[in-house]
Amino acid sequence: MEVKIFEPISFCFGVKRAIELVNKIREEYPYNNIYLFGELIHNKSVMDDLALKGINVVEFSKNSAEVKLNSFKKGDIVIFSAHGHDKNYEEILIKNGVKYFDSTCPIVKINLNRISKANGDVIFVGKEGHPETLASLSKGKNVYLYDINSKFDYSQIKSEQVYVMNQTTLSIFELKRIFKDIKEHFPNAIFTDEICNESRIRQENIASISDDYDLVIVIGDKNSSNTTKLFDIANKNKNRKNYLVSNLDEVKTIDLSQHKKVALFSGTSCPKYIIDEIFEYLRGI
Ligand code: SF4
């Protein structure tokens, strides 16, 4: 089978940076309990590898976060995810004398700083419950969520000046549609359009691959925002088969007998070894 890997593939710089930070902390604090407050990145294989090093994820919801943060003890180390977090969480740890580290991607941080400085109402376009959305909403009462899966209630916006910011890993096509809707209500709104390049280039590549490919496989976890967006874009082309898989075992369940040419893409949190395994398997068919 003819197989082509479309670059960029595997980890983006934000994910690499977060994993390196966690490994460095493990080395520096070999005897402390180290916790990830929410998944560092959305990839089960990476989280399993970290668990083998004794670094476990503490799951939380908006309602349970405070109780969970208060359960950490002096000597514990808490690491916040690469997607961002509510800044108020840090205050709780400081009050309790618990050491913490922030692995937030610099691109997400730029966006969060922009939101903090906005002198008016901010419409934040994102997915409800995603850590980046929660971090952005925590920036102030002037930040309103335009959930990508719901209609937005424009009557909430009272300020003369409206800023529009967005989650960094949304689909560029979905965002275009939502920006058009917002422009119709607020023609003078200031738009930032901060889809990170790591996501944007992958999306543009998958949207423009030639029709010679009769199969597209997107590799990554189903709870990874940028991965599912890649798959959504691929899936718009119904003339070929498109699959989202997280590992080689899932590829083995696909009937490949009718396929001759396959294009491989991955989300930004997918380890390279998983891509290599799938590549070698497909090449051998
Ligand atoms: S996908 Fe983009 S925003 Fe998210 S961690 Fe990677 S570089 Fe940062």
**pLDDT tens-place string over residues 10-27:** 999 999 999 999 999 999
Give residue 257 CA to ligand 1 midpoint distance, Å. Answer: 36
Pocket of ligand 1 (CB under 6 A): 12-15, 82, 105, 107-108, 168-169, 196, 198-199, 226, 268
Q: Which atom of ligand 1 is nearest the CA belonging to 196?
A: 2
Greater confidence (98 vs 193) lies with 98
Which residue's alpha carbon is at the smallest distance from atom 5 of ligand 1? 14
Q: Which of 9, 11, 40, 105 to mutate to test the pocket of ligand 1 (most atoms within 8 A of CB)?
A: 105
Distance of alpha carbon 67 from alpha carbon 216, whole angstroms: 44
Average pLDDT value for residue range 113-138? 95
What is the spatial distance between Cα 98 and Cα 226, in angstroms, rounded to a whole number? 32
Q: How far is the CA of 198 from the centre of ligand 1 (A)?
A: 7
Whether 216 and 265 have beta carbons less than 8 Å apart is answered as yes
Task: Name the amino acid, one letter, at 250.
Answer: E
Closest ligand 1 atom to residue 15 Cα is: 5
Distances (CA, A) of 242 to 6, 164, 228, 238, 256: 15, 32, 12, 8, 12
pLDDT of residue 193: 85
Q: Angle of helix 197-207 relative to helix 225-234, nearest 10 degrees?
A: 20
Q: In whole angstroms, what is the distance from residue 277 CA to residue 99 CA?
A: 38
- For 13-104, the fitting CATH number among 3.40.50.11270, 1.10.230.10, 3.30.465.10, 3.40.50.720 is 3.40.50.11270
Q: Is 154 helix (H, G, I), strand (E, B) or coil?
A: helix
Per-residue model confidence as pLDDT tens digits over 228-257 = 999 999 999 999 999 999 999 999 999 999
Q: What percent of the chain has pLDDT over 90?
A: 96
| This prediction's pTM | 0.92
**CATH number of the domain located at residue range(s) 2-10+197-283 in this protein:** 3.40.1010.20
CA 83 to ligand 1 center in whole angstroms: 8
Under CATH, what is the fold of the domain 107-191? Cobalt-precorrin-4 Transmethylase; domain 1 (3.40.1010)
**According to the model, what pLDDT value does residue 44 have?**
94
3-state secondary structure of 238: coil
Ordered by start, the domain boundaries in the chain are 2-10+197-283, 13-104, 107-191
Give percent of the chain above pLDDT 70: 100
Confidence of residue 32 (pLDDT cuts 50, 70, 90): very high
Domains 2-10+197-283 and 13-104 share a fold: no
CA of 108 to the centre of ligand 1 (A): 7
Please give the distance, rounded to the nearest whole angstrom, from the Cα atom of residue 173 to the centre of ligand 1.
Answer: 18
Left if phi > 0, otherwise alpha if psi is -120 to 50, otherwise beta: which for 11?
Answer: beta
In this prediction, residue 62 has a pLDDT band, given cuts at 50, 70 and 90, of confident
